[in-house]
Amino acid sequence: MKISFVKGKGKYDRMVVHRGDASESVDCPKQGIIPHEMVHFAVEGTLHRRGFLTRVRDGEAAGFQMSADAESDGVERLVEIVQGDAWSGGNGDPAELLDLYRLTCSARQCPPLPIVAEDILAIRARVVELDQEWKAVPIGDVLDLQL
């Protein structure tokens, strides 16, 4: 599946999902770092786990409401932790991020993924790469990714 992230001029960027002959578009509120869905790309691609983008690739609509699924719920909690870390400079202690991840999963009653500090570091490195690529994209242009 090809995913095109279009850098917007205003408050939103856009993600366009290309599956075969069909495409779907989702507005992505700007947040000062890469779009939330691009954080999904980093997490799902690094860990090879089923989350929002993988479910879209497999045929689900690219909306913001999906049915509960233990693995993708765990991915979503991890995306939130990674996103928060990136907002804070991307240098949080991986052990503390893992503790926060487990706490968040417990609060939301979803099983955490079996991840370790090295996974956090690998995801963070991928987020940094994507952030550098995204910053180089002029407004109105596209960053294409393949899932």
Distance between CA atoms of residues 49 and 127, nearest Å: 16
Alpha-helix runs per DSSP H in the chain? 36-47, 52-57, 70-87, 94-107, 117-135
Query: Domain residue spans in the chain?
Result: 2-146
Alpha-carbon distances, residue 69 vs 50, 101, 109 (angstroms): 9, 17, 12
Distance between CA atoms of residues 17 and 2, nearest Å: 6
Its pTM stands at: 0.94
Dihedral, CA of residue 98, residue 48, residue 111 and residue 60, to nearest 10: 130
**Degrees to nearest 5, angle at CA 133 with 63 and 54:** 30
SS (H, E, C) 86-100: HHCCCCCCHHHHHHH
Which residues are CB-neighbours of 47 under 8 A, at least 6 positions away?
A: 75, 113, 115, 119, 123
pLDDT tens, N- to C-terminus, the chain (147 residues):
999 999 999 999 999 999 888 899 999 999 989 999 999 999 999 999 999 999 999 888 887 677 788 899 999 999 999 999 999 999 999 999 999 999 999 999 999 999 999 999 999 999 999 999 999 999 999 999 998
- Token pair for 71: 């693995």
Distance between CA atoms of residues 103 and 26, nearest Å: 30
